[in-house]
Structure 1
């Protein structure tokens, strides 16, 4: 038989006071004597009373829900590709668990574009992944009083502190120095036209590093797709050129398989002929043949930090942002040449 939930009325009846008195005693409100407060709390503990999270949220004028927004691009196919990426799924899973620990549910809604649509679900706060520069979603949400925390900074708001990120510029330098140490002299970068900080930071760091070291700038634009087709076509063009690269850095998840396939179809050996590094670690990198070196951005740690930062904003605490989560270069066979 299912156990019946103990209510505030049960506690009131056991103590012999009103439900209002019990509520005031448990919440530190009203004029209740210390002796009654102690007796109410003792009985509540003995009976196993737990306050309703929903009722508490309503009293605070909140719904007890947080919303997660993943990046959206034009076209249903690209949207499906983004949702399927390991990085965002790790963020969603960890964010849901972290929200639950704070007695809140995490919601992934369809695309909402108006204040009326947002007010209909009335979330306590929003976690936004990879905002575009000067993201209008932030303006809309905060104009109706919904606090927003982002994973990755908004490139169009240099003064905004409510975000969690890795150090994209430092990560790029780590990759490039690793490839140089392995003998690479022509390192190509598969970049995109995204106006998201992650892509901008990598592009800027690569260009700066090439200028400092004298290495050729071999940036190549890849269409905003996150499966292996676009990366495959771009890698084929690179490898078929008169002066092909001896290393390829493919930052976006979904690109490394395309690069590996392009090398294989041209009879090029990884890592002997071409070194390959990916920008986001996941199953694609680990299960490739050979296994691909990649940066672990630790999306689980990013999500935990972002939920805590968002809870701080919801509760009105002074946020300690921005929060930077250190990344790790997971070195594997694709970028190690036997000497």
Structure 2
């Protein structure tokens, strides 16, 4: 096994200099840090977690608790957080709370038992993680007072609502999955904030809301804005069942730009989170807390991006009026 001593002999410096260069501590020139890290990579050097823990009291391991890894969005977030941690020579242990607040608490305790230095939590909807004896970063939404960093869910809602408004829709349905979810409530608040008071808007929730949304379309609504791509997919299935065409008879939008949204038929207009930026900030925040520093930008949100595809179009009534006689 390659040791710090071997690298020190090769470079011609002390083991303390090697240690400082590899951990980012002490005063080591940038040129020397580059040489040391390059030589360490050539030799395949890997720091001993056990030795690090004995010396610093830290393991270099973070705990990550996700709310439901069967949701396609959350594995993508977990993978991006893991890649950002890798850049900082940190490891991540991932736990799935599987849709349960009680399991979330147990998952946090199990990770603490593993000796993690800090915790990153995407909380169950409507919950606040229990106080922990290690630093914690929460990825939720702006309306959560404990939020460390998140997408600007309200801003994303406003983006998609303005798109629907700009292409001419005036009878709109907003559809959420679960009213307990702070994220979905913020998205809907953002949608409503962008719509003038003279717009005909209905807000529905859950499975019953899908049925009512379809009924509203049959009664004249021309657009449905869903708070997630998964909900939009469910709505699309129900619209197909009753032979309502998207976007010819109703425009449909989602949220989160999940992998399947671009291959739906028609491809789904949606809103994308900047997962890379959120992950980078989350790792910066938890790393600063572990080091006893005050994190920069904690509590801020990251702007979202509108992705316009074929599931939205000008209402057919307007197209008919515009055709030359």
Please report the TM-score for the alignment, with normalisation by the length of structure 2.
0.76
What are the within-5 Å matches in structure 2 for residues 86-235 of structure 1?
86-109=72-95, 111=103, 113=105, 117-130=110-123, 132-133=125-126, 135=128, 137=129, 139-141=130-132, 144=133, 146-153=134-141, 155-157=143-145, 160=146, 163-210=148-195, 212-222=196-206, 230=207, 234-235=209-210
CA–CA distance in 2 between the matches of 1:185 and 1:128? Answer: 39
Hey, what does 1:79 align to over in structure 2? none
Hey, what does 2:272 align to over in structure 1? 296
**Given the superposition, is the C-alpha separation of residues 323 and 238 from structure 1 closer, same or farther in structure 2, using an over 3 Å criterion?**
closer
1:213 Cα deviation after fit: 2.6
Q: 2:6 aligned with 1:6, yes or no?
A: no
CA–CA distance in 1 between the matches of 2:71 and 2:126? Answer: 22
Larger radius of gyration: 1
1:22 Cα deviation after fit: 5.5
Residues 51-104 of structure 1, C-alpha deviations (whole Å, 9 max, x = no match): 725223432111211111112xxxxxxxxxx31333211111111111112111
- The alignment of Structure 1 onto Structure 2 pairs a total of residues equal to 289
**Given the superposition, is the C-alpha separation of residues 278 and 107 from structure 1 closer, same or farther in structure 2, using an over 3 Å criterion?**
same
Hey, what does 1:262 align to over in structure 2? 238
**Given the superposition, is the C-alpha separation of residues 277 and 156 from structure 1 closer, same or farther in structure 2, using an over 3 Å criterion?**
closer
Hey, what does 1:60 align to over in structure 2? 56
Structure 2 segments unaligned to the other structure (5+ residues): 21-31, 97-102, 320-325
1:24 Cα deviation after fit: 5.1
Please report the TM-score for the alignment, with normalisation by the length of structure 1.
0.74
- Once superposed, what is the RMSD of the aligned Cα atoms? 3.2
Hey, what does 1:250 align to over in structure 2? 226
1:11 Cα deviation after fit: 7.3
CA–CA distance in 1 between the matches of 2:256 and 2:4? Answer: 50
CA–CA distance in 2 between the matches of 1:177 and 1:70? Answer: 31
Hey, what does 1:237 align to over in structure 2? 212
Maintained 8 Å contact 2:171/2:222 = yes
1:23 Cα deviation after fit: 5.1
**Given the superposition, is the C-alpha separation of residues 24 and 280 from structure 1 closer, same or farther in structure 2, using an over 3 Å criterion?**
closer
Q: 2:309 aligned with 1:325, yes or no?
A: no
Hey, what does 2:257 align to over in structure 1? 281
Hey, what does 2:323 align to over in structure 1? none
CA–CA distance in 2 between the matches of 1:166 and 1:183? Answer: 27
CA–CA distance in 2 between the matches of 1:178 and 1:90? Answer: 26
Residues 149-179 of structure 1, C-alpha deviations (whole Å, 9 max, x = no match): 122247452xx4x611222222112211111
Structure 1 segments unaligned to the other structure (5+ residues): 16-20, 29-37, 72-81, 223-229
Maintained 8 Å contact 2:177/2:231 = no
**Given the superposition, is the C-alpha separation of residues 180 and 116 from structure 1 closer, same or farther in structure 2, using an over 3 Å criterion?**
closer
Hey, what does 2:289 align to over in structure 1? 313
CA–CA distance in 2 between the matches of 1:169 and 1:129? Answer: 18
